[in-house]
Amino acid sequence: MPAEHDFDYDVIRRISHRPWPMPDSPWIMTQSWHDLLFAHWPIDADRLRTRVPPELPLDLHDGQAWLGVVPFRMTNVGPRGLPALPWISAFPELNVRTYVSLDGRPGVYFFSLDAGNPLAARTARTLFSLPYYSAEMSIEEKAGWIEYRSRRRAKTESSAEFSARYRPEGSIREPQPGTLDHFLTERYCLYTVDDRSRVHRAEIHHPPWPLQPAALQISVNTMANAAGIQLPSTAPLLHFARRQDVVVWPLTRI
* pLDDT recorded at residue 232: 96
Digit-coded pLDDT (tens) for 64-102: 999 999 999 999 998 998 776 666 789 999 999 999 999
| CA angle, 159 then 229 then 178, to 5° | 125
For residue 241, list its beta bridge partners. 36
User: Exposure pattern of 162-191 as b/e (b: 16+ CB <10 Å)?
Assistant: bbbbbbbeeeeeebeeeeebbbbbbbbbbb
Q: Which residues of the chain have pLDDT under 50?
A: 1-4
CATH architecture of 27-253: Beta Barrel (2.40)
Predicted local distance difference test score (pLDDT) of residue 5: 66
Number of C-beta neighbours around residue 127 at 10 A: 14
pLDDT value at residue 156: 65
pLDDT for the residue numbered 13: 96
Ramachandran angles phi, psi of 210, nearest 5°: -85, 80
3-state secondary structure of 22: coil
Summarize pLDDT for 39-51 with one digit per residue, the tens: 999 999 999 999 9
- Distance of alpha carbon 127 from alpha carbon 12, whole angstroms: 23
Q: How many residues does the chain have?
A: 254
Helices (H), 84-234: 86-89, 118-128, 180-185, 223-226
> How far is Cα 59 from Cα 75, in angstroms, rounded to an integer?
30
CA distance 4 to 75: 6
Pairing of strands 29-43, 237-248: antiparallel
How is the chain split among helix, strand and coil, in percent rounded to 5? 15, 45, 40
Looking at residue 3, what is its pLDDT?
43
